[in-house]
Structure 1
């Protein structure tokens, strides 16, 4: 993967208008045109053969568990309808800027995302996955295998490990594991803020898991960097869950906007998992202050979170 240092990463301003939206809009490339380039970097875009083999392994796993198998799934049917097994087979459930694939050397599944070379997402991912940053224990960015540049087309392919939606398919088995997942979410935002970065689209859909108690953030399309700006203010955020001042069209502190979004995520995670934790409700209350100036910093949130967990009985934390 290419190596970049801070000197080549352009800082963002605190202006109320986002950067040129053309470069930050989702890019839907002609995937066939870049197929061989991506293969030369060690990755294979999913073909009809790959899709059929995936479904067959999936069904074998279900049958081994004694579960019923339904073979008329749309993805499998579509792959079977194409005569050439080597033809690319896009997952219809993914946006056009994403394509599933395989790391040829290891056989691991990947997801490849196309972005503009001047986009906020590429700037953020390039920094978060750079050698001096990616190994930090508080950096919970999705693992990235490669950044494949196509300068002539102002395009970059971000090759990520394929992880899975957090909490939606496999609920943490104990309160301790659930709180551990939330702590990783808080940790990553602490890490980003310490690097003068705000995510600005914290939501359930943008956090994934590897099903091994590791959690990671994705989708940095709204991310902003504020190098050299001690007290940035922005407006016009287009995240999934935005704080009230943003809905009113007012200015906000981007770091305090992240704090509000994180509190909303915690509430939704509790609802989805069924973990009714009064301590978490008390913990998030200050984070949801209508006045962003009264919200705590993310570093203070992490400190308060650890204090809250320390006061929960061990039997409650480990109960199944």
Structure 2
């Protein structure tokens, strides 16, 4: 049994015990969990007189979600994410994930669905499956710097949702509100963000999975490249609420998602119990861009009209995803080069801070121009990412 439990500072919490109990099984499957979950774990801070020692120790940080944990793949040392899925709760998640990353669909460059590297079956519980995925990072961390970087995110997010809708899958995206913290850094449910990215091009040095600005040993901060210099690929994740429909079912109906985004107009009418998930997907994506970009930065005015269309109160007045992609392409095509290279201007910054940031950005932009680095990043496609992970053959459903 482990040295510490819930009652001890820094000890294992209740939601971590399942992972601790399955440590050896994961090892047999080819994956190593962090030392915190080993049966013979001895905390690295044991004997320290400092009450906060666990907070500055790499094995002292508890996992934030009971369903997702980081691990290392034994064969090559690649970091992966393990997601525990209860089929009785999310019966379609594994099948939809497998379908969207099947060889026939992975070759489409618009496919931004998180790759499924492997699916494991819990040997003690037939209801539990483990999805092995690439280890991804929150889409907004680190902060976007230029308009070109934001456009790259918009374009990848749009074409990814377009791809899903084209294959009759509604993501049924659910975005929970952020915590009211001074840093505004952590979302309420950080492990269930629906859009993330492969951080390896930007972060050449591995970082701690729980505190992603720290090195694995917690001794220093990790450095990273910009999105412009080292483009990344964004992925739609978490298909627990997703549904796939028949090709001729162009107007599917689903029950309202209780506990979801309360700003969705069709969720506010107490007399409406169903909704078209394709329409709601458009709202979710539009609202994400409104809250995380338009309300935060002052020079993305070219997106106002499109986002206003996507979040219209009446669902039937919103564009289809194909229409939204065409509108986005039209907007981007009209932007001059200097606009694409411009710095995103935070609304809360004062005049002095704007000036200081502009000076630094001018020198950085000059270096990009000399190196002929594109203003809008061009990242790898899904096939390249999967190959880098040496994807194994998927077991058949």
Residue 225 (structure 2) pairs with residue 215 (structure 1): no
Give the paired residue count.
Answer: 265
CA contact (8 A) 1:140 1:215 kept: yes
TM-aligned CA deviation for residue 245 of structure 1: 1.0
CA distance in 1, matches of 2:87, 2:254: 23
- Please state if 1:112 is matched with 2:82: yes
Aligned-residue CA RMSD in angstroms? 2.9
Give 1:315's match in structure 2, choosing from 338, 345, 357. Answer: 338
Match of 1:230 in 2: 250
SS of the residue corresponding to residue 276 of structure 1 reads: coil
Secondary structure (helix, strand or coil) at the match of 2:59 reads helix
Q: Is the partner of 2:254 in helix, strand or coil?
A: coil
Q: Structure 2 unaligned runs (5+)?
A: 1-14, 45-50, 176-186, 188-192, 203-230, 344-397
- Which residue, 188, 193, 196 being the options, matches 2:168? 196
CA contact (8 A) 1:75 1:92 kept: no
**Would you say 1:156 and 2:119 are equivalent positions?**
no
Q: Aligned partners of 2:303, 2:262: CA distance in 1, in Å? A: 19
SS state of the match for residue 256, structure 2?
coil
The yes-or-no answer on 1:103 pairing with 2:123 is no
Structure 1: how far apart are the matches of 2:24 and 2:120? 12
Contact 2:69 2:83 in 1 (8 A): yes
The residue that corresponds to 1:290 in the other structure is 313
In the TM superposition, residue 241 of structure 1 has moved relative to its aligned partner by 5.5
Select 1:261's aligned residue among 273, 278, 284: 284
Q: Which has the larger radius of gyration?
A: 2
CA distance in 1, matches of 2:313, 2:122: 44
The aligned residue for residue 36 of structure 2 is 48
Contact 1:241 1:261 in 2 (8 A): no
Q: Which runs of 5+ in 1 are unaligned?
A: 1-26, 56-70, 81-90
Deviations 1:262-308 (A, max 9, x none): 11011122157635311111111111111111111011000000000
Deviation string, structure 1 residues 10-45 (Cα, Å, up to 9, x no partner): xxxxxxxxxxxxxxxxx9882234333322332111
CA distance in 2, matches of 1:94, 1:143: 22
Counterpart in the other structure of 2:300 = 277
Q: TM-score, normalization: structure 1?
A: 0.74
TM-score by length of 2: 0.60
Answer whether contact 1:38 1:148 (CA < 8 A) is retained.
no
- TM-fit CA distance, 1:161: 1.4
1:236 CA displacement: 1.3
How far does the alpha carbon of each residue in 1:106-136 deviate from its partner, in whole angstroms, 9 at most, with x for none?
2122221100245232232121222222332
**Kept after mapping to 1: 8 A contact 2:16/2:63:** no
Give the distance between the partners of 2:329 and 2:58, measured in 1 at CA: 49
1:147–1:159 contact (8 Å) kept in structure 2: yes
Partners of 1:78 and 1:213 in 2: how far apart?
27
| Mapped partners of 1:107, 1:76: distance in 2 | 24
2:269: which partner in 1? 248
The change in CA–CA distance for 1:313 and 1:160 in structure 2 (over 3 A counts) is same
Shift, 1:154, TM fit: 1.9
CA shift in 2, pair 1:240/1:160, >3 Å: farther
Matches of 1:266 and 1:76, distance apart in 2: 35
Aligned residue among 76, 91, 94 for 2:64:
94
Distance 1:300 1:162 in 2: 32
The answer to whether the Cα contact below 8 Å between 1:198 and 1:255 also exists between their aligned partners in 2 is: yes
Change (3 A) 1:78 1:178: closer
Q: Deviations over 1:160-200 (max 9, x none)?
A: 11111111x21233211211111111111101101111111
Query: 1:6: which partner in 2?
Result: none
1:180-238 per-position Cα deviation (integer Å, ceiling 9, x unaligned): 11111111110110111111115483211224421111111211111242321223124
Q: Is the contact made by 2:282 and 2:321 (CA closer than 8 Å) also made in structure 1?
A: yes
